[in-house]
Amino acid sequence: MSNKIRLSSNAFIEALLTVPAEDWYRNWPADRTIMLSMTSKKIRNIINKMCIPAIVHWKWKFWSDPNNGSGSKGDSGASLNKTGSTTEVKLNFIMTSLQLQCNLYLYKITTLVLRRCDIQIIVKKLAKVLRKCPMLEKLDLQRNKINTEGAVLIANSLKRCPKLLHLDLYINKIGDKGAIKITKLLKLKYCPHLSYLNLSFNMIYDKGIKKITEVIIKSSNQSLNDIELCHNRITEDGVINLMEMLKKCPNIKYLNFYYNTIEQYKAENIAQRYNIDLHSLYKLRKHSYP
């Protein structure tokens, strides 16, 4: 005797509606699968509740734990131990997990934090994951040596993340080309809500700053209000471009370009010509980002 249960479309909808949204995660076993074909839009909207918003934050201690990502086999056939579990093995473990979650639509990843993970080793895999994260709001990839090529790949993937609010690429040496490509995400057809952009420590020169400011001005993005550009290669010409951008983009309330290749008093003199107080741009602020 078959133990399959058949429900009419209306009965199935009624059954799903009885489950409170906050109970989906608790009451839905991970190994249970619903196969649906020819379903109504209403059913699909309800089933979508099972895609739990997820915050993925790989902490530094992950790398010192030999049990994480050590499922690969060494030459002897044994799992890699503490000394043999390499960064690449751990990164592949992370990407495999994320790809599985995205492919099965188990989660809506809203926050992804991967700091100091040497992401450049598997940046192509990360780019594939990002293309399947349309609900992503925050991406933090600090200190990952991504470089220009990696920045281009990531930027192309993030075009599919229209809800993105916060993008942090601190210390990645993406250069002028990479920074320009990232900044183009501010166009309204890509990431219209992006409000925080950190491009500090990325070897950006005046030539790149000129292009970046042009892109920001033309993007007409009213959401952007916080930009980090410290520890780059900005000189007087770059500061002039930044001041002209600020005059045309009053939505930008915070701009940090400390520790560039221009003395502070010179930067302040340029800002005064535009009636801009640099100290107010550098003031401490509280983030409201996810």
Same-domain pairing of 42 and 171:
no
Gap between the terminal Cα atoms of the chain = 51
> What tens digit of pLDDT does each residue of 88-132 get?
887 887 888 788 777 665 568 889 999 888 889 999 999 999 998
pLDDT of residue 86: 73
Q: What is the DSSP string of 198-257?
A: E--SS--BHHHHHHHHHHHHHHT-SS--EEE--SSB--HHHHHHHHHHHHH-TT--EEE-
Number of domains in the chain: 2
Residues 188 and 287 in one domain: yes
Determine, yes or no, domain membership for 70.
Answer: no
Q: What residue numbers bound the domain in which 38 lies?
A: 16-50
Claim: this prediction has a pTM higher than 0.85: no
Domain-located, residue 152? yes
CB hemisphere CA count around 215 (13 angstroms): 19
Residue 269 lies in a domain: yes
What's the pLDDT band for 281 if we cut at 50, 70, 90?
confident
For the stretch 154-174, pLDDT in tens is: 999 999 999 999 999 999 999
What pLDDT, in 10s, does the model give residues 198-237? 999 999 999 999 999 999 999 989 999 999 999 999 999 9
Backbone angles phi, psi at 243, to 5 degrees: -65, -40
Domain contains 238: yes
Query: What CATH number corresponds to the domain at position 239?
Result: 3.80.10.10
DSSP string over 46-90: HHGGGSEEEEEEE-GGGGG-TTTT--SB-TTSSBP-TTT--HHHH
Residue owning tokens 């609010």: 165
Average confidence (pLDDT) over 35-41: 50
Residue 109 is given by DSSP the state: E
Pair 120, 145: CB distance under 8 Å = yes
Q: Tell me what the pLDDT averaged over the chain comes to.
A: 79
Domain identity same for 155 and 45? no
